[in-house]
């Protein structure tokens, strides 16, 4: 499943690494592209959209 969402409070490469790690914790095979400049996160995963968004919010980020 391909997901795309905006994370308005992702500000730097460390933020994108934290988000990537959180998503890979629930799906180690996920492909994650998080760009702090555009605030966009693209995910190719087998996990549900709700689980992915929950993983991101659990590490302190907002999903728009």
pLDDT at 15: 97
| Residue in this structure with the two tokens 């087998």, named with its chain if needed | 46
In the structure encoding, which two tokens stand for residue 17, read together? 């690494």
6 vs 30: CA distance, rounded Å: 18
38 vs 22: CA distance, rounded Å: 19
46 vs 15: CA distance, rounded Å: 23
pLDDT at 13: 96
Mind listing the pLDDT tens digit for each residue in 11-59? 999 999 999 999 999 999 999 999 999 999 999 999 999 999 999 999 9
pLDDT at 52: 98
Full set of structural domains in the chain with CATH: 2-58 (3.30.70.100)
pLDDT at 28: 98
pTM of the model: 0.95
Q: In 1-64, which ranges are continuous DSSP H helix? A: 13-26, 49-58
Answer yes or no: are the C-beta atoms of 9 and 62 closer than 8 Å: yes
């Amino acid at each position: 499943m391909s997901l795309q969402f905006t994370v308005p409070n992702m500000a730097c490469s460390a933020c994108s690494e934290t988000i990537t790690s959180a998503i890979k914790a629930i799906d180690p095979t996920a492909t994650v592209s998080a760009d702090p400049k555009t605030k966009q996160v693209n995910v190719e995963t087998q996990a549900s959209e709700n689980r992915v968004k929950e993983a991101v919010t659990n590490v302190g980020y907002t999903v728009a």
